[in-house]
Amino acid sequence: MSTRYTKDHEWVRMEGGLAVIGISAYAAEQLGDVVYVELPAEGAEFAQGADIAVVESAKAASDVYAPISGVVASANALLSTQPDLVNHSPQSDAWFVKLRPSNKAEFEALMDEAAYGEYVKGLS
């Protein structure tokens, strides 16, 4: 199961034809304590790079961008009552949405884990 990353620190992995999307551990660390997550409605359609969610922390509010285009199949309802999951489990339990991708080539064009690791190293 390969995970791809954006320069805005979103991750996406394909699971059974759906694209599961969240934010990276690096992004969660930069945000600090997450207190609120706003997710889109099922059926909402997003183009790659569009605002798909909002994460609020004690420090700031940040937009989350769609790493690939698609239609929301489901949103992670757990985040409405447990937004701190983003801090504790950003790349597994704290997924934001599952999309039905409309262009799978967008996934392949994103950074793989090694490239993302190098990108993050260059930010410090």
CATH numeric code, 3-102: 2.40.50.100
pLDDT of residue 1: 63
State the pLDDT at residue 60: 87
The tokens describing 17, both together, are 């034809």
Q: What pLDDT, on the 0 to 100 scale, is given for residue 33? A: 96
This prediction has a pTM of 0.94
pLDDT at site 24: 97
Averaged over successive runs of 10 residues, the pLDDT of the chain (124 residues) comes to 93 96 96 96 98 94 97 97 96 96 95 96 88
Residues 6+ apart with CB under 8 A from 37: 53, 54, 55, 56, 79, 80, 83, 86, 96
Question: Of 86, 102, 104, which is closest to residue 10 (Cα–Cα)?
Answer: 86
